[in-house]
C-alpha cells in the first residue's frame, strides 16, 4: 500500500478513478456514516456500556469470528431498556461523520445509487437513510414490547442478523437487480464484518478502519473526513 497524501493510502490501482464509472456505493453505518456504535450507546442507558463495548470492539477487530453470536449477546444485555433511550441516543449522541454528506452528495450527483447495509438497527438506519436521501437500507430489527427492548432481534424473511455474509449478499443482490457488475460498486466500511462486501466491490474504502480492514482495503482514509475519497475519485 502506498501513501497518496498524509493519512490516505492506496493499494492496487492508480488514481484518479472516475466516480461516474461506478453505479452503486454501499456504506456501513456505525462508525462509518455515523460517529457512534449504536448498540454501545443503548447499553449505556442500561449501565452496561463497558461490557457491551468490549464485545463490539473484539467483533470489529475480527477477534470474535461469529458476529451473529456476538450481536445476540450484546442485544440480550439490552433487555429492559426503554425505547425512549433510543430516541435519546439518536437526538443527543448520533452525528454524521465528517465529510459524509459531501461524499454521499458527490456520489448522488454522479448518478450512483446508495445503499446502507448495517449490522446495527433499523431504528437508526431508517433515520440516517432519510437524512442522507439514500436509496436502499438493510439492518437488524430490535424486538420491543410495551415500550421496552426484549433483548431479542426480530426474524425477517432473509434471516435475523445482518452479518458480513449478509452484507456481501445484499451488495451482490442489488448489483444484480441494477444489472451491473460488482466491479461497478464501491463498498465503504470500518470493521471486520465489512470485509466480505468490500472483497466483491470494484473499490473498497476503509474509513478510519480497524487494522485488518486498513490492510485489505484499496483505499484507506486514516485521517480527516470521508470526503477525502474525492482526492481519488474525480
* Active-site amino acid positions: 28, 30
Q: How many CB atoms lie within 10 A of CB 54?
A: 12
Based on DSSP, count helices (H) and strands (E) in the chain, helices before strands.
9, 10
- Cell numbers placing 119: 449490522
C-alpha–C-alpha distance, residues 71 and 52, integer Å: 9
Taking the CA atoms of 180, 206, 58 and 54 in sequence, report the sign of the dihedral they define: negative
CB contact at 8 A, 112 and 19: yes
What 3-state DSSP class applies to 17?
strand
Amino acid at each position: 500500500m502506498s501513501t497518496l497524501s498524509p493519512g490516505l493510502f492506496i493499494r492496487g490501482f492508480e488514481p484518479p478513478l472516475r466516480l461516474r464509472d461506478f453505479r452503486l456505493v454501499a456504506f456501513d453505518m456505525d462508525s462509518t456514516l455515523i460517529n457512534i456504535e449504536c448498540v454501545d450507546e443503548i447499553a449505556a442507558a442500561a449501565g452496561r456500556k463497558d461490557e457491551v463495548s468490549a464485545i463490539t470492539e473484539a467483533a470489529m477487530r475480527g477477534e470474535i469470528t461469529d458476529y451473529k453470536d456476538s450481536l445476540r449477546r450484546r442485544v440480550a444485555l439490552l433487555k429492559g431498556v426503554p425505547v425512549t433511550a433510543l430516541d435519546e441516543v439518536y437526538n443527543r449522541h448520533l452525528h454524521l461523520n465528517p465529510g459524509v454528506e459531501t461524499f454521499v452528495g458527490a456520489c448522488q450527483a454522479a448518478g450512483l445509487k446508495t445503499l446502507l447495509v448495517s449490522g446495527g438497527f433499523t431504528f437508526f438506519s431508517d433515520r440516517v437513510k432519510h437524512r442522507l436521501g439514500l436509496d436502499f437500507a438493510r439492518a437488524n430489527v430490535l424486538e420491543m414490547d410495551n415500550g421496552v427492548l426484549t433483548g431479542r432481534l426480530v426474524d425477517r424473511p432473509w434471516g435475523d442478523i445482518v452479518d458480513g455474509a449478509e452484507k456481501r449478499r445484499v451488495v451482490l443482490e442489488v448489483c444484480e437487480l441494477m444489472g451491473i457488475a460488482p466491479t461497478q460498486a464501491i463498498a465503504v466500511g470500518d470493521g471486520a464484518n465489512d470485509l466480505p462486501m468490500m472483497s466483491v466491490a470494484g473499490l473498497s474504502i476503509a474509513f478510519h478502519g480497524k487494522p485488518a480492514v486498513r490492510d485489505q482495503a484499496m483505499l484507506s482514509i486514516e485521517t480527516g473526513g470521508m470526503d477525502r475519497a474525492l482526492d481519488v475519485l474525480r
